Amino acid sequence: MQSCSSALCMLILLISAFSAEILSAVPSVKVKLHDSATLSCSERCSGLVRWSVFHKPTDVLAECDQTSCRSVKEGYQMIHDQYLKGNLSLTITDADFTKRGWYTCDCDGEDICDVQLLIEPLSTSVRIHPGESLVLDLDIPEEVEVIYNRTGSAGLSSGQICAVDGRSLQCDPEYKQRVSAALELRAVTPSDSGVYTVMDKKNEEVIHIYTVTVGSAGGSELNDDHPDLDTDRGAAVPVWVFALMVVVLLAVVVVLVVIVRQRR
């Protein structure tokens, strides 16, 4: 707030509130991956009705006029009987991640409906043994981030572990050595158990949730074989945190001492 003039701040605030308002006002449809989705629009239109990708009026998907309806792009349908009744809905036969986004319906070139298509996040449970690799499918080619929530700790150690943009992969230093480009996390230990969320970074949309349990399904032999793995990794973090806390505490003490001396 100090670095920008109040008028400018006000303007920025207004613009961001306004655009958030517009986007949140757009009705949305959420379906399961590969289900069909119906984007609703009921308006009277006696002329040419066209569905297109939002802000790309030339990217026509399907259209109707008084005589018939046509699918311009495969997988997008309008029904003529419904059009005559004022139901201008568009049916997307196979909703996949590439079809997520905003769509516009117009009547003789005038925007009458905007609808957002969302895909329900996928959910996968994985049970693997210590030492094996965890492979996370990123599902979409767009930039994603992978967020890890450790099992059994309330938000203590959750956070982004990797960001993947095209072929470039950026991981937290702790994970750098263990993750390959396919987002394979090698040599897991029981402390890697938890929830891994693959997020579409740009749209802040959850794509895939992996609930991961590392341990042997049949009993405790494997855990007994590697009792040190868990404790080693568990101990590494507290030592580091402890050191940081000591440094911060010392800094606070020094600052306090300086302040007290100055006052005297």
Ligand X SMILES: *[C@@H]1O[C@H](CO)[C@@H](O)[C@H](O)[C@H]1NC(C)=O
Using CB under 6 A, list all residues that contact ligand X: 38, 79, 82, 87, 89, 91, 149, 155, 158, 195, 197, 209
Q: How far, in Å, CA of 72 to CA of 110, rounded?
A: 19
Q: Which helix (H) or strand (E) holds 90?
A: strand 90-92
Q: Whose Cβ is closer to ligand X: residue 161's or residue 179's?
A: 161
Q: How far, in Å, CA of 185 to CA of 207, rounded?
A: 19
| Nearest distance from C-beta of residue 206 to ligand X, angstroms | 8
Which residue of the chain is nearest ligand X when measured via CB?
A: 155
Q: Whose Cβ is closer to ligand X: residue 87's or residue 189's?
A: 87
| Nearest distance from C-beta of residue 164 to ligand X, angstroms | 18
| Nearest distance from C-beta of residue 223 to ligand X, angstroms | 24
| Nearest distance from C-beta of residue 93 to ligand X, angstroms | 11
Q: Whose Cβ is closer to ligand X: residue 121's or residue 131's?
A: 121
Long-range contacts of 255-263 (CB under 8 A, 24+ apart): none
Within 8 A by CB and 6+ apart from 193, the residues are 150, 151, 212, 213, 214, 215
Q: Whose Cβ is closer to ligand X: residue 155's or residue 219's?
A: 155
Nearest Cα neighbor of 140 from 206, 87, 75, 191 is 206
